[in-house]
Structure 1
């Protein structure tokens, strides 16, 4: 019975044959309804959210629980963004179980655990574990399968889908927008297959896309790539401004291991190229990309890694198989899972040969396909040539798990994007606000133990500043940061009034993006944006009026605190 419940919810969540025309609720319109979604349809709503990742879902939840209506689009057929369609278990800070994120984000995490406890045959010990980690992965306290997040997010959104406040269009992305002076008036969304388009009129628009897609479409001013030291005065900024210099992205994949079985795939196209590829970075990379060694992010010295798909730890080394393991079979009844399942998002499949920002759709697709070929080549190398402690080469029993990723080719539905277009914001977060070393230089040793306290804080977060190698030759930039706040000013474009960022497209720099881009921070940004829209709509204010008036700002901060938002760090 429990397994059937899981399959029912998974089907509801979109695990299966969803198409671009599939939606999960009808009758969103209070004034009118449409019977079909063919080209030329007109829809009106309060808020149009483009992008169904964690930021988009958090925005939708905040909007709907405060009584407004919303349309949310998602380019793929899974909501959840980096945790689902990209497959990446949550990267989080060490305080996440008790504080440092909104109540709603911790509720989402608890629902993940409850979903496993309700629907899966866990061992008695695992079921009684308060902080269950289904995969026992070392990267996160809650490593789990992507489609469980999809199911849980739908569970959270379902009341609003049922009552018509929320409508979700899967397989749709923004196409064009109409603006008047400093406001976005409407937007046309089009299915990725090109067969359907919908004209959406709304009072507010939210860009929750992975690459900041709405910014060029709406004419909202933005920046990309690397700022120079002259521009930002940041300690770790580059000497020159390079707008096309972005962090590597990754096409992730899931795999398991079958002892004694030969699952070797056909040799991928360009395998020899990737087998012999040495990243051209400064400072230099440790050697070949396909190797159990990489540049230590903090020191850039060569760092050896271990790999054993049987889960056996390599003495003195991180076993990559256990790092992002999303299912640990020992947490479940014997035989339920034939083996552990892991997610491959490693240095070896970081794609640093091209850029996805401000390029043509043809180039975007070509670059993603090349990145997929790198990931397939890594998998084949692991099967055939990865060195083993017993002196052998390769693990033929490794098996791609496309079923876990919801794809036929075994790769994730969408690349894991680390860097987006970023709005030119009312306030830009700099390294001096959050970076340990830079902060101490600005305010001194004692004061520098705490991040800058933003008077307009609308959330908190933490992650070290972590920039992966770039497409223009930068090696890792990785250094310590401080538990930080999210300033309202970083969520407000300088000019446009009713468009808000809800992903990695806020007012950060290339440097500070490195700590504001992770799962709980994206959720916090999305929820803050949703609450801002609800508050300004109720009080007939603009977002800039809220930020620029101390009394209104204080009232807004009380409003969001009452809805579970932390605006200051506890005990820090």
Structure 2
């Protein structure tokens, strides 16, 4: 085993959406950056987790940073340059390659990966950015309230690197640096008594009550062929499994019916129709492309039937983490096998054996995404914590979200919590278009460690609207600019928040870089 050392001004652990945005931001301002990633694909939710962007309804016009909009434009340009689109598709100003109805930009994860590498390429080539793939953090050296170094281990070779810098950003999907560094953090569900939130649980806090994770996968369909996979080891368990959640589920997990997230009423679905699950996160609509390019649509399976809620994958022993990760894989493969063999069809038959697992879409041997889709992370104990009363429409009485004078960005999405390891059903309630306060990005004690992903100062409840793609991008990007600002002015991040002069200058920098700090007047609709 070899041990090497690397140094840069800023060290980013985690190549998530937030990590990539932070790296672009910091390098744009001339800083040197080291960035690591646990898998061999940067991009987190967009790539290794294979999930097209969940966005606010105004995203084509506003509600995302200039850099995020550039990412979206580059994805569309990638298809325009490299794919044989139909004449009608080329006329679409807002091309949606998959025409999935959950997102205005449903696309293949490999395209997002290519675009992110394009955006990072100038900094790679100039030497300003060094990227290390297949790296997991194993150790953090701390002196008082200051991180000195992070040791990462190569998951393929076993070799280790010690990374040193002046500022450290945790852009991992689960907030891995927080326990390693002794940074104060919370997990799971805070109690209603603690936060006063309308939808928080009563009684004591539930630190292991976290949103379910999902191993996503992609399928195409050939009705006259048989692509049935081998029967998964735990198929019988999952075929018969009934989620033990409150309020109650609609029956077995493997069924065409499931609760409507916002009302929990039973919703009956089908595989193929205008409101089908197939169209929900469809990555490729073959009709957007010249005849013969694709023989079938390609759909990303991130549906209620593949949410794993039997246990969390952080804050538990490693053997339990491994058991739940394997359980999540078995759940997804079992659902695919059910779709192929036992799913009821409208004609009275059973199964769709022509469903084919597209391993190439996600770049793995088993056909499942490289990393589970993570909806909830460890979260720093921050100088300011965003509560439901700040953003939830019910607690706001239908008004606007709380204004934050220290805003570093904006976002919007429902407070959308999937069924959880604490046996909660969906919690999906409306929120107002909100701001991202700088105070929520600052740990209560640590001086040079910043969150750059879903690990900011939110609660179990408000995480539900701050966890989506454009908000995570905005968090990472603003943190990248903050780190660069601190280096330029030789101040700690908390000093920027405490000083009106520094805060105004930092916010001016954000505006200059195309970060929106306030929502326009969008009216009731």
Q: TM-score range by the shorter chain?
A: over 0.9
* Cα deviations by residue, 1:495-517 (Å, 9 ceiling, x for unpaired): 00100001110000000000000
Moved more, 546-555 or 118-127: 546-555
Aligned to 2:297: 340
* Cα deviations by residue, 1:215-258 (Å, 9 ceiling, x for unpaired): 00011000000101110011111103110110110010000001
Question: Hey, which bits of structure 1, 4+ residues long, moved more than 4 A?
Answer: none
Trace 1:245-394 onto structure 2 (pairs within 5 A): 245-308=209-272, 312-313=273-274, 318-394=275-351
Aligned to 1:222: 185
* Cα deviations by residue, 1:532-557 (Å, 9 ceiling, x for unpaired): 01111111111111111122211111
Trace 1:47-62 onto structure 2 (pairs within 5 A): 47-62=10-25
| Corresponding residue SS for 1:58 | helix
Whole-angstrom distance in 2 between the partners of 1:242 and 1:45: 39
Whole-angstrom distance in 1 between the partners of 2:156 and 2:486: 36
Aligned to 1:32: none
Aligned to 1:533: 483
Aligned to 2:469: 519
1:397 aligns with 2:354: yes
Aligned to 1:244: 208
CA RMSD of aligned residues (A): 0.9
Using the TM superposition, give the Cα deviation of residue 366 of structure 1 relative to its aligned residue in structure 2, in angstroms.
2.0
Could you tell me which of 428, 446, 464 is aligned with 2:385?
A: 428
Whole-angstrom distance in 1 between the partners of 2:142 and 2:520: 42
Whole-angstrom distance in 2 between the partners of 1:232 and 1:195: 43
| Corresponding residue SS for 2:9 | strand
Could you tell me which of 57, 77, 85 is aligned with 2:40?
A: 77
* Cα deviations by residue, 1:377-424 (Å, 9 ceiling, x for unpaired): 100111111111122111110000011000010100000011100000
Whole-angstrom distance in 2 between the partners of 1:363 and 1:148: 34
Whole-angstrom distance in 2 between the partners of 1:94 and 1:182: 41
Using the TM superposition, give the Cα deviation of residue 39 of structure 1 relative to its aligned residue in structure 2, in angstroms.
2.0
Moved more, 388-397 or 557-566: 388-397
Could you tell me which of 132, 143, 152 is aligned with 1:180?
A: 143
Could you tell me which of 395, 399, 411 is aligned with 1:461?
A: 411
Whole-angstrom distance in 2 between the partners of 1:322 and 1:150: 23
The normalised TM-score by structure 1 is 0.90
In the alignment, structure 2 segments of 5+ residues that lack a partner are none
Using the TM superposition, give the Cα deviation of residue 341 of structure 1 relative to its aligned residue in structure 2, in angstroms.
0.3
Aligned to 1:414: 371
Aligned to 1:480: 430
Using the TM superposition, give the Cα deviation of residue 288 of structure 1 relative to its aligned residue in structure 2, in angstroms.
0.0
Using the TM superposition, give the Cα deviation of residue 360 of structure 1 relative to its aligned residue in structure 2, in angstroms.
2.7
| Corresponding residue SS for 2:122 | helix
Whole-angstrom distance in 2 between the partners of 1:490 and 1:460: 13
Whole-angstrom distance in 1 between the partners of 2:239 and 2:477: 43
1:569 aligns with 2:519: yes
Whole-angstrom distance in 2 between the partners of 1:268 and 1:359: 26
Whole-angstrom distance in 1 between the partners of 2:304 and 2:199: 21
Whole-angstrom distance in 2 between the partners of 1:551 and 1:47: 24
Using the TM superposition, give the Cα deviation of residue 363 of structure 1 relative to its aligned residue in structure 2, in angstroms.
2.2
Using the TM superposition, give the Cα deviation of residue 194 of structure 1 relative to its aligned residue in structure 2, in angstroms.
5.3
